[in-house]
């Protein structure tokens, strides 16, 4: 089953709405600032949703509780994944690879296999753009897209 929705605690609702709309590309769906909550579509209602919650709300941080980081991934086509690196930098957001180092290209997790980049939201939650690759898995591989291209093989067709 595909993941439909995720919910994140945020410290500033308007700042987070702006980030997820302008940087991530989600579509505002519904907001109730007086309740401290907003929802954004991942493309459209049929695809998925992200909920943003201020402290003291159902999914927000409890009063006085330390902030914690959350992580979620959005599936994107490979072309969008690679294009997002420059786009994010142009918006002042620093993409990283799986190892946390600054990324000029996607990193690859070989056991899936998948290509991805990561970047922080305004509350240090980690947003991931991920593409599942049409290659044979290589369980021991964790590295750059360039290195992956040297060793990867296309998936064998299903019988």
How crowded is residue 104: how many other Cβ atoms within 10 Å of its Cβ?
14
Q: Which two tokens stand for residue 43?
A: 């493309």
Nearest C-alpha neighbor of 75 from the set 2, 16, 125 = 2
What digits encode the pLDDT tens for the residues 39-89? 999 999 999 999 999 998 888 888 777 778 889 999 999 999 999 999 999
Q: Give pTM, 2 decimals.
A: 0.88
Beta carbons of 99 and 107 less than 8 angstroms apart = yes
Structural domains in the chain plus CATH codes: 1-65 (3.10.180.10), 69-159 (3.10.180.10)
């Amino acid at each position: 089953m595909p993941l439909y929705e995720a919910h994140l605690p945020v410290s500033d609702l308007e700042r987070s709405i702006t980030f997820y709309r302008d940087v991530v590309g989600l579509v505002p769906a519904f907001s109730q600032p007086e309740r401290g909550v907003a929802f954004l579509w991942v493309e459209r209602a049929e695809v998925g949703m992200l909920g943003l919650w201020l402290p003291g709300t159902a999914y927000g941080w409890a009063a006085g509780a330390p902030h914690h980081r959350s992580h979620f991934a959005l599936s994107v086509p490979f072309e969008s994944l690679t294009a997002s690196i420059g786009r994010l930098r142009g918006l002042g957001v620093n993409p990283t690879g799986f190892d946390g180092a600054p990324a000029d290209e996607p990193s690859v997790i070989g056991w899936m296999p998948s290509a991805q980049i990561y970047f922080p939201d305004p509350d240090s939650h980690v947003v991931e753009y991920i593409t599942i690759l049409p290659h044979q898995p290589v369980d021991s591989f964790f590295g750059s897209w360039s290195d992956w291209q040297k060793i990867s093989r296309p998936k064998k067709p299903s019988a």
